[in-house]
Amino acid sequence: MTAPALSFVHRFEPAREAGAPPLLLLHGTGGDENDLLQLGRMISPGSALLSPRGKVLEGGMPRFFRRLREGVFDENDVRARAAELAGFIAEAREAYGLAAPVAVGFSNGANIAAALLLTQPDALAGAVLLRAMVPLADPPAADLAGRGVLLLSGGMDPIVPEENAARLAGQLRAAGASVDHRTLPAGHGLSQADIALARQWISAPRQVAA
């Protein structure tokens, strides 16, 4: 479904099952609003899908925030872009009649989802973070009580050091989130195990923030 003109170019697919949580799909570097639709359908078949395109271009490739070099982020831009994305989520919730979504982000998309949790905690009901790393060295105090996070890291990931992913899990737990952090025998790309674990996690009953 081609969506109305909101502040981000995006795709929207309505829910097909009452009670399925809406998903906010956040692509990696070089992706777009179409990239994770199939993943969303696989891990939560009945969910409404909201998939924006990142506004930052790096060598012509869309991203959700600027980086200075591989693994080094422009943290002022991270904060500004997270606030901008939170504004889009509020627009889309009103336009489509959605509850707070669960973010499903890959790589750069997972990093902006983590930044949303840490700086705009009311924007999301929870998150599936696929190959995420710390977006902010010193995040503000946030209250993530009642929000669940599934953090799936790759044990052979050449981009995200194991220590970095563990530090992100610690930041989220310190803010009160219920974090399930697993390291899979995979690299930076996604595996069937990621899909299976994400599907299992999303379908499990849990307390979800309003």
The answer on pLDDT for 3 being more than 90 is no
pTM confidence score? 0.95
Q: Active-site residues: which are they?
A: 107, 157, 188
The answer on pLDDT for 208 being more than 80 is no
Domain-wise residue ranges, the chain: 10-203
CA–CA separation, 164 vs 178, rounded Å?
Answer: 18
The pLDDT value recorded for residue 4 is 66
The pLDDT value recorded for residue 97 is 96
pLDDT tens column, 32-52:
999 999 999 999 999 999 999
Alpha helix stretches (DSSP H) within the chain: 37-43, 75-96, 108-119, 162-174, 192-203
Tell the CATH superfamily of the 10-203 domain: Alpha/Beta hydrolase fold, catalytic domain (3.40.50.1820)
pLDDT tens column, 91-100:
999 999 999 9
CA end-to-end span of the chain, whole Å? Answer: 26
